[in-house]
Amino acid sequence: MITINTVSKKYGQAEVLNVEKIEIPRGQSFGLVGNNGAGKTTLFNILLDLIRPTTGEITNNNVVVNKSEEWKSFTGSFIDESFLIGYLTPEEYFDFIGDLRGMNKADVTSFLAQFDEFFNGEILGKKKYLRDLSKGNQKKAGIIAAMMGNPQVVILDEPFANLDPTTQIRLKKIIKTLTDNKEVTVLVSSHDLSHVTEVCERIVVLEKGNVVKDINTSQETLKELESYFAA
Amino acid sequence: MITHFLKLEWKQYFRSSYWQKGIALKIIMGFFVLYLIAVFLGIGIGGYFILKKTFPEQDPLQIVNSMLIFAILGDLIFRYLMQKLPVMNIKPLLILPIKKDKLVHYVLGKSAFSGFNFLSLFFYIPFAIVLISQGYNVAGVLGWLFAMVFIIQAVNFLNFLINKDNRVFAFIATLLVSLIALQKFTSFDASIYSQQVFDGIVANPILGLVPFATAIVLYYVNYKQLRDRVYLDDVVAVKVEEANTADLSWTERLGDVAPFIKNDIRLIWRNKRTKTVFLMSFLFLFYGLVFFTQETYQKMPAMLMFASLFVTGGFALNYGQFIPAWDSAHYKMLMSQSFRYRKFLESKWFLMVAMTSVLYFMSIPYLYFGTKIFLMITCGAIFNIGFNSLFLLYAGSFNRKRIDLTKGGFGNTQGTSATQFLIIIPLMLFPMAIYWVFDKFIGYNSGFIAVALVGVIGMVFKNYFMNLIEKKYIKDKYAMINAFGKEA
pLDDT at residue number B270: 86
Q: Which of A73, A84, A132 is opposite residue B240, by nearest beta carbon?
A: A132
Band (B415; pLDDT cuts 50, 70, 90):
low
Band (B414; pLDDT cuts 50, 70, 90):
low
Q: Which residues contact B202 (CB under 8 A, 6 or more apart)?
A: B61, B65, B136, B137, B140, B141, B143, B144
Torsion of CA B406, B408, B414, B415, to 10 degrees: 50
pLDDT at residue number A86: 85
pLDDT, mean of residues B457-470? 93
d(CA A62, CA A23): 12
Per the CB < 8 Å rule, is B330 touching A101?
Answer: no
Question: Could you check whether the bond before residue B324 is cis, i.e. omega within 30 degrees of 0?
Answer: yes
Q: Which of B329, B338, B406 is opposite residue A69, by nearest beta carbon?
A: B338
10 Å CB burial of residue B453 (0-12, 13-18, 19+) is middle
> Which three-class secondary structure state does DSSP give residue B216?
helix
Span B342-353, pLDDT tens digits: 889 999 999 999
Contacts of B336 in chain A (CB under 8 A): 48-50, 72, 75, 77, 83
Nearest CA in chain A to B344: A100
Nearest CA in chain A to B268: A87
Q: Is the torsion defined by CA of B90, B95, B96, B98 positive or negative?
A: positive
Cβ atoms within 10 A of the Cβ of B479, count?
12
Torsion of CA B406, B409, B412, B413, to 10 degrees: 80
Per the CB < 8 Å rule, is B333 touching A82?
Answer: yes
d(CA A75, CA A149): 9
The H-assigned helical ranges of B271-411 are 272-283, 287-292, 295-298, 301-320, 331-335, 341-362, 371-383, 389-396
Q: Which of B266, B339, B481 is opposite residue A88, by nearest beta carbon?
A: B266
Span A3-52, pLDDT tens digits: 999 999 988 888 999 999 999 999 999 999 999 989 999 999 899 888 88
Nearest CA in chain A to B326: A85
Interstrand relation of A153-157 and A75-78 (parallel, antiparallel or unpaired): parallel
| Selection from B121, B95, B94, B123 nearest residue B107 by Cα | B94
Q: Which residues of A touch B (CB under 8 A)?
A: 48-52, 69, 72-73, 75, 77, 79, 82-89, 91-92, 95-97, 99-101, 126-129, 131-132
pLDDT at residue number B468: 94
d(CA B316, CA B354): 9
The H-assigned helical ranges of B55-135 are 60-82, 100-112, 116-119, 121-133
Q: Which residues contact B427 (CB under 8 A, 6 or more apart)?
A: B309, B317, B388, B391, B392
Least confident span in A150-159, B275-284, B355-364: B275-284
Whether the pTM exceeds 0.90: the reply is no
CA of A101 vs chain B CAs: smallest distance (Å):
7
Q: Which of B240, B267, B339 is opposite residue A100, by nearest beta carbon?
A: B339
Contacts of A50 in chain B (CB under 8 A): 332, 335-336, 478, 481
Give kind and range of the element (H or E) at residue B44.
helix B23-54
Interstrand relation of A55-60 and A63-64 (parallel, antiparallel or unpaired): antiparallel
d(CA B342, CA B339): 8
pLDDT, mean of residues B343-366? 92
pLDDT at B340 over 90: no
CA of B268 vs chain A CAs: smallest distance (Å):
10
Per the CB < 8 Å rule, is A50 touching B262?
Answer: no
Bridge partner list, A77? A155
pLDDT at B15 over 90: no
pLDDT at B18 over 80: no
CA of B130 vs chain A CAs: smallest distance (Å):
53
Cβ atoms within 10 A of the Cβ of A210, count?
16
What is the length of chain B?
488
> Which three-class secondary structure state does DSSP give residue A19?
strand
pLDDT at B296 over 90: no
Q: Which of B336, B406, B485 is opposite residue A48, by nearest beta carbon?
A: B336
What is the length of chain A?
231
pLDDT at B244 over 80: no
Nearest CA in chain A to B333: A83
Contacts of B337 in chain A (CB under 8 A): 72, 97, 100-101
Q: Which CATH number is A209's domain given?
A: 3.40.50.300
**Residue B340 backbone dihedrals phi, psi, to 5 degrees:** -80, 135
Looking at the 3D structure of chain A, how many domains does it have?
1
Least confident span in B11-25, B102-116, B257-271, B361-375: B11-25
Least confident span in A16-25, A144-153, A177-186, B155-164: B155-164
Give kind and range of the element (H or E) at residue B269.
helix B258-270
ipTM over 0.85? The verdict is no
Cβ atoms of A7 and A53 closer than 8 Å: yes
Q: Which residues contact A133 (CB under 8 A, 6 or more apart)?
A: A90, A122, A123, A126, A141
Per the CB < 8 Å rule, is A97 touching B337?
Answer: yes
10 Å CB burial of residue B345 (0-12, 13-18, 19+) is buried
d(CA B374, CA B367): 5
pLDDT, mean of residues B300-327? 87
pLDDT at A186 over 90: yes
Alpha-carbon B420 to chain mean position: 16
Q: What angle do CA B29, B44, B206 make, to 5 degrees?
A: 125
Alpha-carbon B174 to chain mean position: 24
Q: Which residues of B touch A (CB under 8 A)?
A: 240-243, 245, 258-259, 262-263, 266-267, 270-271, 329-333, 335-339, 405-406, 478, 481-482, 485
Cα–Cα distances in angstroms (integers) from residue B21 to residues A134, B277, B329, in the given order = 32, 22, 19
Determine the residue among A42, A45, A50 to mutate to test chain B binding: the one whose Cβ has the most chain B Cβ atoms within 10 Å. Answer: A50
Q: What angle do CA B274, B14, B325 make, to 5 degrees?
A: 25
pLDDT at B126 over 80: yes
pLDDT at residue number B288: 84
What mean pLDDT, rounded, does chain B reach?
Answer: 84
Residue predicted with more confidence, A41 or B413: A41
Per the CB < 8 Å rule, is B339 touching A96?
Answer: no
What mean pLDDT, rounded, does chain A reach?
Answer: 91
Which amino acid type is present at position B38? A
Per the CB < 8 Å rule, is A89 touching B243?
Answer: yes
Least confident span in A71-80, A114-123, B5-14: B5-14
> Which three-class secondary structure state does DSSP give residue A87?
coil
Per the CB < 8 Å rule, is B478 touching A52?
Answer: yes
Contacts of B270 in chain A (CB under 8 A): 87, 129
pLDDT, mean of residues B153-180? 85
pLDDT at B389 over 90: yes
| Selection from B218, B474, B328, B70 nearest residue A66 by Cα | B474
Band (A203; pLDDT cuts 50, 70, 90):
very high
d(CA B43, CA B71): 15
pLDDT at residue number B488: 52
pLDDT at B27 over 90: no
Q: Which residues contact B218 (CB under 8 A, 6 or more apart)?
A: B154, B157, B158, B161
Q: What is the DSSP string of A182-203?
A: S-SEEEEEES-HHHHHHH-SEE
d(CA B103, CA B82): 23
